[in-house]
Each structure stands twice: as C-alpha cells, then as structure tokens.
Chain A
Amino acid sequence: MAISRARRNRMAELGAHIILLAFAVIALFPVLLILINSLKTKKAIFRQPLEFPTSETLDLVGYTTVLQQGNFPLYFWNSLFVTGASLFFILLFGAMAAFALSEYKFRGNRLLGLYMALGIMIPIRLGTVGILRLMVTTDLVNTHWALILVYTAQGLPLAIFILSEFMSTVSSDLKSAGRIDGLSEYSIFFRLVLPLVRPAMATVAVFSMIPVWNDLWFPLILAPAEHTKTLTLGAQVFVGQFTNNWNAILAAMALAIIRCLFFTRSSRASSFGA
C-alpha cells in the first residue's frame, strides 16, 4: 500500500517534470535559435537555421560588427544604469507610498490611492509631448535622468498598487510593538515592514524591469544622443529600411539575452532569500 502510493507519487512527479521540461524546451527554443545563429555566417543562417555552427559556418562577424560599430559596451552601461536606477526609485518610492496609503489614516487617503491606480490604466506615452517639453525646459534631454524620471513615474502606479495590498497584510500588532519599543516610523518601515514584503518587492522589480529594459520609445525621443543611447536603441542601427544586418541583430539580441539572464538570477535570489 505504502509502496504503491510512493510509486504513484513518483509517477506523478515524473509526469509533472516531463510537462514542465516540454514547456521549458518550447520556451527556450527561440532563445537557443538566436544564440546558435548569432555565431553563423549569413548564408548559413538562412540555409540551415536549425543547425549548430560547424567549422565552415562559424562566423563571429555579427559580434565584431556589434562591438565595433556603435559603442555597445556604452549602450549596455546606459541600459543598465537607467534600468537599475529606475528600479531603485520605483521600489523605494513605491514602497513608501504604499506604506503611507495602507498604514496612515488621513483625509483623501482613498482618493489618493485611486488616483495612483489610474496610472496603471493610462499609458504614459500619451503624455510624450508634455514630457518632452518639460525635459527641454529643464535641460534634461539627452541625459540619463530624463529616462530615469520617466520610467520611475511609469512604474510607480503598479508598484504602489501591488505593494499596498501586501503592506496591509503585515500584522498591525508588530508595528504597534515597534512603536512601543521606540522605533521611528522610518525604522518600522525599513526594518519591520520591508523585510516582510520582500517577495512582493521582487515581483514588482521583475514586472517593472522588463518594460524599462525593452523600451525604445523614450530613449528615441528623450535621449537619442550617442552617449545616452540604450541597448535597444543602439541595436536599431542594424534594422535597415530595406535590408537587415541579421548577423549583427542576432549578436545584439544574444548579448541582451545573456544580460537578462543575469538580471533574472539576481532578482530570483532576492525572492528566495525572503
């Protein structure tokens, strides 16, 4: 009886793993395709797209173009800096606002929460003209801060919405105990509440990061200068009107993927730590 149940459990486990593995293969296949094709000659990309590079078809021309034409390490750094800084501010201000909205009773609390939630529904791009004007008058065009400010504003509504939901589940007795023990409101927020909502923070981080990292619109409009170009914008060089430089595009994509893997690993590590 016990043995057969154990065996049945094992079978179920195996089945689940097979399904998950199949799903992983399907999901990872295009990624693999990009990675192997970025290492091949142009002919080989179109003739045998599914084959691994052989000694004849191996060609690193994509990578050399990418690394020579345009300053990809710089684009990379720009993307990284803008995404990282935006993420930092989204999480910091998002969590603080969420705490205030869920913890303190003040006039207009509900209204303010609703106003923040509206931002989830209205795309920030609708305000592009206004934003551009603002950036021009404040002399922020072609700086990282132009992007960081816009992305922070773009990410805050969802962050506040998700985090205030989580903050209201933190035991009020715990906060009361902190107050009696003489912790300031800032300590209660940073030392008691934040560690408890870390999993939610990781979720918000992932959700906020992807659109920022992939965005083409605002870099194109607010910071197209060579020294502030992001990776997504930089890679556009190879997308021509009539011909695409596939080697370079694939190489750029491969680099971006590798980068993304690093990001996901670090955010996963933080959510496991909670």
Chain B
Amino acid sequence: MANLKISSLYKSFGAENVLDGIDLNIKSGEFLVLLGPSGCGKSTLLRIMAGLEDESAGDIAIDDKSIAHLPPSKREIAMVFQTYALYPHLSVRGNMELVLKQAGYSKAEIKERVAESARALELDALMDRKPSQLSGGQRQRVAIGRAIVRDPKVFLFDEPLSNLDAALRGQVRLEIARLHQRLSATMVYVTHDQVEAMTLADRIVVMNDGEIQQVGTPRDLYERPANLFVASFIGSPTMNFLQLEKLTENSAQLKDSTQLPVSNKASVIPSNVMLGIRPSHCALHDKAGEGYLKAEVLLEEYLGDTTYVHVELETSEQMVVRENPEIQRQTGDEVYVELGISGVHLFNADTGKRMEVSIVEPETA
C-alpha cells in the first residue's frame, strides 16, 4: 500500500505534446481509473509511471520518495497489459516465478508465493501449461497472477479487458474488483470503457488531449461534470445539449423562447451558454404544457427495459429522451419534451466550464 504522487508531468514525442502538465495525487489503497478517448495519452502516462518511458519534465513519487530516476524493476510496481504479454516459452509457473527469481528470492519463498497467488486466482490446474494453451481469460488471469506474486506497492493496468469478449470481460472485471478488495492495494487502471470505469473506480480521472479534465468519484463525474467534454464523454447515450438564447439571474431562455426557472450565481453572466440535460431527466408528453418543447419523433431505439426516443426540436436541435418501453411512438409523431429542472446543467460555451446553478422550483419560487 502506497500513495503515488505525480507533479507537473510533461511528455512530448518530438514536437507533439502528449502529456501537458499532469498533477495527480493517488491515495493509498485507491482504485484510480484513467478514462479518455483513444490517443489522449493514458497509456503514455501509465508507461511513465512504470518507468518504461522517460518523462520530458515533472516528477513521480511513491510514498513521497521520487522514483523518476529508477528503472522499471526497482519501482515496486507491477503492470498488466492489454495483450497479456506472457512469456511464450515459459509455463504459467515459469511466468509467475521469473520476477521473483530476478529479485533473488529463495526457492522456498518463490514456491510459497507462487502457490498462494495461484490459489487466489484459481490457476492451480493450469500451472504447467504454456500460454499458448490457455484461453484469453485464463491468460489475463495469469498476467494478473504474475503481477500479484511480487507484492508491489502499485498495480498498473493498461486496458486489461479489451482483448476479451463481452461475457469474459464482466467476469474478469469482477475478479479485479475482488482482488482490489482483498489486497486493498493502490491500483491505476486505464480504460476507454466507461462501464469499466464507473464500476471499478474509487475515483476517475477523465483525460483529453494530454490534459486532465476532471478528477472525481463516478457519481461526481456523472452528476456534476466540470466541463462540456466530461459532460459529453460520461454517460450513454450522451447528454443532450441545447443552446440558450438568454440567461438571466433566475431564468434560462431557450432558442424557442421557452423559459426555465433556473437561477445562477455567476457575477458576470456569459453571453454564450449551453444547457445540458441527460436523456433520463427528460420526458415526452402528447400534449403541450408549461415549459415543454415541441418536437418531432425521428427514431425509436427499443432496448427491452428502456426505449430511447430521438427527437428533433423546432430549432432543429436534436435530443434523446429515455422513455418507458411500453409506450410506442412512430416516426413523425408530434411530441412535447419536458426538461426535468433538477437535471439541468449549464456550461459557459466559450470556455466549456460548468456554471453553478440552483433550481428555482415553481412552488418555492
């Protein structure tokens, strides 16, 4: 167990800045997920933590001791790779023993540690097989086993589930969650799958273009996204965005001049404001009503337990609304969209930043 601190870390490949000033404080025993679109620098950050890549500037410390100058094997970290990276010519046992042999442990201790990890991951029956004789899920379990035998201070995972099929992914994900509970070790986990991130993480770091967008618990990110990028990246289907015509101290006016009772505390009200609302905070009605937006049904996605209805507003902005699957709608139907005021987010469209809002409920207002 150890805490990991990254301070003003920069990395560039030639002229390209891949990491642009990363500051991160990972608490002891925390499960931290790095989440972001492809190419945003997640793997690069992880590889720098592991010492496989040199940082251009900045520092990394474990338990307040800088490890930036240490080679990978001296950093007391273990890494699990997307491609498993098992040594093909060694048996499962050989794969797990190698790191201990390199570190100079005694035969007895190697045996004991390997047996213990094997038991924990239910690998006993596979110990003498070669990696080529294992299924994908088994290989990844071996890779995890290879990581835990060394009893590292920090575990690093780089998209460990991406090469597995959907069913196995769920299973191995559960295993990783259990592992974290049992070892209560510090873990850093890279993924671009939000379900993995939301289910596993104590905290999620959302990255884009080499910069951290927001750090927070899954709930924080979902309920209070710090900017437009996080708002649109987290949640599926993504949040709906509507351009505001005008924002005043206690109301927001949409393009079709619908007024919403939203108040904000900004000292200077920006001219260009974006309203965000998730599909689950909207509702469809057949008849017009106070604050409803007139719309036309474009498409209905039936998923069994819910239906997502895609609609187009009169302002030709499109929205997705979650609806009870029992209601069926036809393309071209006229509907009225109600925006649940409690689910409204406001963003400064110029800077992308979130604006603090409070809802002026009609009854209390």
Interface residues of A (CB under 8 A from B): 171, 173-174, 176-183, 191-192, 195-196
Contact = CB atoms under 8 A, between A and B. Distances in A.
A118 B310 CA distance: 62
Assign chain B's interface to a size class: 20 to 34
B81 A196 contact: no
Given A173-B81, A173-B82, A180 B73 contact: yes
A182 B102 contact: yes
Interface in B61-113: 71-73, 77-79, 81-89, 98-99, 102-103
Contacts, number: 55
A38 to B, nearest CB: 44
B52 interface: yes
Interface in B102-127: 102-103
A192 B82 contact: no
B47 interface: yes
B234 interface: no
The 9 A-B residue pairs with the shortest CB-CB distance, nearest first, are A182-B73, A182-B102, A173-B85, A181-B99, A177-B85, A173-B81, A180-B72, A179-B72, A173-B83
Contacts of A182: 73, 99, 102-103
B205 interface: no
B322 to A, nearest CB: 40
B320 interface: no
Contacts of B47: 176
A171 B77 CA distance: 20
B184 to A, nearest CB: 22
Interface of B: 47, 50-52, 71-73, 77-79, 81-89, 98-99, 102-103, 146
A192 B99 CA distance: 14
Q: Among A173, A179, A191, A196, find the residue whose CB has the most chain B CB atoms closer than 10 A.
A: A173
A176 B87 contact: no
A174 B82 CA distance: 11
Contacts of A191: 87
A178 B146 CA distance: 11
B252 to A, nearest CB: 50
User: Main SS of chain B's interface residues?
Assistant: loop
A180 B71 CA distance: 8
Given A180-B50, A181-B102, A195-B88, 12 more contacts: A173-B84, A174-B85, A176-B72, A176-B81, A177-B81, A177-B85, A179-B51, A179-B52, A180-B52, A180-B73, A192-B87, A195-B89
B102 A183 contact: yes
Contacts of B87: 174, 177-178, 191-192
A174 B77 CA distance: 16
Contacts of A177: 79, 81, 85-87, 146
Contacts of B77: 180
Contacts of B52: 176, 179-180
Contacts of A178: 87
Contacts of A174: 83, 85, 87
Contacts of B81: 173, 176-177
Q: Which of B71, B78, B81 has the most CB of A within 10 A?
A: B81
Contacts of B79: 176-177, 180
A5 B72 CA distance: 57
B152 to A, nearest CB: 9
26 contacts: A171-B83, A173-B81, A173-B82, A173-B83, A176-B50, A176-B72, A177-B79, A177-B85, A177-B86, A177-B146, A178-B87, A179-B51, A180-B51, A180-B52, A180-B72, A180-B73, A180-B78, A180-B79, A180-B99, A181-B98, A181-B146, A182-B73, A182-B99, A182-B103, A183-B98, A195-B89
Contacts of A192: 87
B151 to A, nearest CB: 14
A181 B52 CA distance: 12
B88 A196 contact: yes
Nearest to B103: A182
B154 to A, nearest CB: 12
Nearest to B158: A173
Nearest to A195: B89
A181 B73 contact: yes
A186 B249 CA distance: 68
A183 B101 CA distance: 10
Contact of A179 (B73, B83, B89, B98): B73
A181 B51 CA distance: 12
Contacts of A173: 81-85
A179 B85 contact: no
Given A181-B98, A181-B99, A176 B85 contact: yes
Nearest to B79: A180
A173 B99 CA distance: 16
A171 B88 CA distance: 11
Contacts of A179: 51-52, 71-73
Nearest to A179: B72
B144 to A, nearest CB: 12
A183 B90 CA distance: 14
A247 B73 CA distance: 66
B131 to A, nearest CB: 11
B77 to A, nearest CB: 7
